[in-house]
Chains A and B, each alone.
Chain A
Amino acid sequence: MEFLTILQVLDSTMRLATPLLLACLAGLYSERAGIFDIGLEGKMLAAALLSAAVAFSVGNVWIGMLAGIGASLVLSLIHGVASISFRGNQLISGVAINFLASGLTVLIAQDWFAQGGRTPSLVGAARFEPITLPGALTSVREISQAGPVMQIYSELLSGHTVIVYLALLLVPLTWWGLFRTRFGLRLRAVGENPAAVDTAGVSVKGMRFAAVMICGVLCGIAGAYLATALQAQFVKEMTAGRGFIALAALIFAKWRPVQALYACLLFGLLQAIAVRFQSFELGGITIPVQFMEALPYILTVVILAGFVGKAIPPRAGGEPYVKER
């Protein structure tokens, strides 16, 4: 296999891993604070619709992204009120959010644009354009003739949208925030032993709401990335299970930010390989495309079946906090 082909697959990996990574970090904040969130998928979907719709009408992708984040925050708030204030079941609230987003997005898009539940295509400033780093080559032909270092720089590092770089930056930021700040310590404590945090005079509800809102912001960015950077419009169910793959990656990473990056890159790589090598020969045996497409899911199952050791979730996860009985 050529060096450049490998680079191109890795380049595609970066693009495909970004929404997973953002959603995975979103889940990380929420679950570290003790709020399980299987509504990542729904929040991304709502954000994808709103970001594309607003970006199309205003003609500015940044305003579109803010609208997407807003939509995701509203769903987060619903999740928060249901599971923190009213101490409802977090899983049920999450499922409800997924269903709500799945149906509502198509309905709203159909009502606004009447194009069968999709938004019109975004052009120009209404979508994120790839950023070319200084000195990087852009055309495929120039890149294929350049040296290996230049190839890595131009193909792999340059030419992504700003959100890809932002997502990568969020990984060390999340690590620092969670493990090196007072806020992070309290957030983790709320997920492990909320009673202790309460005794120390910190509001458990406040901390949990903060975490759920951060989760909403990140899901909003992930959704906006899908609709305005990876694609140039919203289509129904465009998240295509990415929220759930992100959850699997979160468990795989044992709720740690740097490991979450690795897990998301692995799943992104598997998707990229399935796209690039639809059926390829390995030692005389032709591996069918169906197997390649199933590989990310097979691996998720294999990994979850115990190849990563024991994944212990935050101890107070899934349980609403009751101050006193």
Chain B
Amino acid sequence: MSLMQKFLGGAAALALSASAALAEPALIYDLGGKFDKSFNEAAFNGAEKWAKETGGSYREIELQSEAQREQALRRFAEAGANPIVTTGFAIASTLDEVARDYPETKFVNIDGWLPEIPANVALISFQEHQGSYLVGMMAAMASKTNTVGFIGGMDIPLIRHFGCGYAQGAKAVNPDINIVANMTGTTPTAWNDPVKGSELAKAQISQGADVIYAAAGGTGVGVLQTAADEGILSIGVDSNQNHLHSGKVLTSMLKRVDVAVYNSMKAGTALETGGSTVLGLAEEGVGVAMDSHNAALVSDEMKAAVEAARAKIIAGELDVVSYYANDSCPALSF
């Protein structure tokens, strides 16, 4: 009996603390997990930056399964969190439904797409193909075997979008380059399977690849590890992953999820919703990571080429074809 009372007491205390903290922002991480050193970790870093600057606090949850998406959204909405920031495309359709039930709460989704955006939802997406184009150029310039690799996470249009930009960049430098592309899997577990990432990297290395770009969330950790072990170069994604294996990671394709999360939280309840924002090279939403860890790997020639291409893309002189345009890629077949 006393045990039961303790439980009830605990539950009551939890409920109290939940209602006391009104209008905190909330952050929902996608299935790759908060510390994937990539996409979700970037979101976490953005939220931490906001918390540090404003002294505020935020609520967060790491999803463990598909079924928790709606549960988590409703729980945060019921608890009065505002705005609720979600990462990953997969939650968008659930968000669409839930958002209509809580018109007072503002929701943000990063990477998602909806045919019709509810008035209280803001979608943020990135022009990953532009950033991938730049790292593709660097990969082709760094490759000595004339073969570069691409390892994607879950086989979805978004990841093909990454791969397509990368292939176009590589081909722009060297039209005869050989591009080996693999996807880790077709289910969300593909975001967190470093063992498979490792095996795929080994398979690509044996096919001659000497630079591998991993756009695979937590799976990429295995790819980068194997690349470092085997003495070839790798390219990180989303977060700056250059430091993971200093001197062995050519660069990282930055996708400033942290900035998106930070800005959303900073705007708070005054956030503009009902539309979608696209962040590209011009907005510095995507970019190439240069720091002390990869300084020795990046030649001046590479820097100049990347800068030139960057300027051209921003000016609209160079058009990197988006995979979304007609669901196919001119430079790579998956």
**Residues of A with Cβ closer than 8 Å to B?**
4-5, 8, 12, 15-16, 115-118, 121, 140, 226, 230-233, 235-236, 238, 240, 272, 275-276, 278, 289-290, 293
Closest chain-A Cβ to B135's Cβ sits at a distance in Å of 22
Tell me the bound Cα distance from A230 to B36 in angstroms.
Answer: 19
Which listed residue, A118, A232, A236, A278, touches B182 by the CB 8 Å rule? A278
Tell me the bound Cα distance from A115 to B221 in angstroms.
Answer: 13
Which listed residue, B200, B205, B244, touches A275 by the CB 8 Å rule? B200
Contact yes or no, A289 B222, CB < 8 A:
no
Which listed residue, B33, B36, B195, B205, touches A231 by the CB 8 Å rule? B195
Contact yes or no, A8 B199, CB < 8 A:
no
In the complex with contacts A121-B225, A140-B206, A289-B183, A235-B199 CB distance below 8 A: no
Residues of chain A within 8 A (CB-CB) of B33 are 116-117, 236
13 further contact pairs, Cβ within 8 A, besides A116-B34, A140-B208, A235-B218? A15-B199, A121-B221, A140-B206, A230-B198, A232-B225, A235-B192, A236-B192, A238-B195, A275-B203, A289-B155, A289-B183, A289-B186, A290-B186
B89 on interface, CB distance cutoff 8 Å: no
B274 on interface, CB distance cutoff 8 Å: no
Contact yes or no, A115 B35, CB < 8 A:
yes
Tell me the bound Cα distance from A226 to B199 in angstroms.
Answer: 13
Tell me the bound Cα distance from A289 to B186 in angstroms.
Answer: 9
Contact yes or no, B203 A8, CB < 8 A:
yes
Closest chain-A Cβ to B125's Cβ sits at a distance in Å of 25
Contact yes or no, A116 B206, CB < 8 A:
no
Residues of chain A within 8 A (CB-CB) of B195 are 226, 230-231, 238, 240
Residues of chain A within 8 A (CB-CB) of B200 are 275
Q: Which of B181-204 contact A (CB under 8 A)?
A: 182-183, 185-186, 192-196, 198-200, 202-203
Q: Which of B224-241 contact A (CB under 8 A)?
A: 225
Contact yes or no, A116 B225, CB < 8 A:
no
Contact yes or no, A275 B196, CB < 8 A:
yes
B272 on interface, CB distance cutoff 8 Å: no
30 residue pairs of the A-B complex, CB under 8 angstroms, read: A4-B206, A5-B206, A8-B206, A12-B202, A115-B35, A116-B33, A117-B33, A118-B35, A121-B221, A121-B225, A140-B205, A140-B206, A140-B208, A226-B195, A230-B195, A230-B198, A231-B194, A231-B195, A231-B222, A231-B225, A232-B225, A272-B199, A275-B196, A275-B199, A275-B203, A278-B182, A278-B183, A289-B186, A290-B186, A293-B185
B62 on interface, CB distance cutoff 8 Å: yes
Residues of chain B within 8 A (CB-CB) of A290 are 186
Contact yes or no, A16 B199, CB < 8 A:
yes
Closest chain-A Cβ to B207's Cβ sits at a distance in Å of 8
Residues of chain B within 8 A (CB-CB) of A235 are 192, 194, 218
Tell me the bound Cα distance from A12 to B203 in angstroms.
Answer: 8
Residues of chain A within 8 A (CB-CB) of B202 are 12
Residues of chain B within 8 A (CB-CB) of A289 are 155, 183, 186
Contact yes or no, A12 B218, CB < 8 A:
no
Contact yes or no, A240 B203, CB < 8 A:
no
Residues of chain A within 8 A (CB-CB) of B244 are 121
Closest chain-B Cβ to A15's Cβ sits at a distance in Å of 8
Tell me the bound Cα distance from A111 to B194 in angstroms.
Answer: 22
Closest chain-A Cβ to B123's Cβ sits at a distance in Å of 26
Closest chain-A Cβ to B198's Cβ sits at a distance in Å of 6
Residues of chain A within 8 A (CB-CB) of B208 are 140
Closest chain-A Cβ to B328's Cβ sits at a distance in Å of 16
Closest chain-B Cβ to A51's Cβ sits at a distance in Å of 15
Tell me the bound Cα distance from A37 to B182 in angstroms.
Answer: 36
Which listed residue, B182, B193, B198, touches A240 by the CB 8 Å rule? B193
Which 3 A-B pairs have CB atoms at the shortest separation, nearest pair first?
A116-B35, A8-B206, A275-B199
Tell me the bound Cα distance from A240 to B187 in angstroms.
Answer: 14
Tell me the bound Cα distance from A293 to B190 in angstroms.
Answer: 12
- Minimal Cβ-Cβ distance residue in A for B204: A276
Tell me the bound Cα distance from A2 to B244 in angstroms.
Answer: 35
Residues of chain B within 8 A (CB-CB) of A230 are 195, 198
Tell me the bound Cα distance from A117 to B218 in angstroms.
Answer: 12
Residues of chain B within 8 A (CB-CB) of A293 are 185-186
Tell me the bound Cα distance from A131 to B199 in angstroms.
Answer: 18
Residues of chain A within 8 A (CB-CB) of B155 are 289
Contact yes or no, A12 B199, CB < 8 A:
yes
Closest chain-A Cβ to B60's Cβ sits at a distance in Å of 12
Residues of chain B within 8 A (CB-CB) of A12 are 199, 202-203
Tell me the bound Cα distance from A290 to B206 in angstroms.
Answer: 23
Residues of chain A within 8 A (CB-CB) of B194 are 231, 233, 235, 238
Tell me the bound Cα distance from A30 to B62 in angstroms.
Answer: 38
Residues of chain A within 8 A (CB-CB) of B193 are 240
Closest chain-A Cβ to B237's Cβ sits at a distance in Å of 17
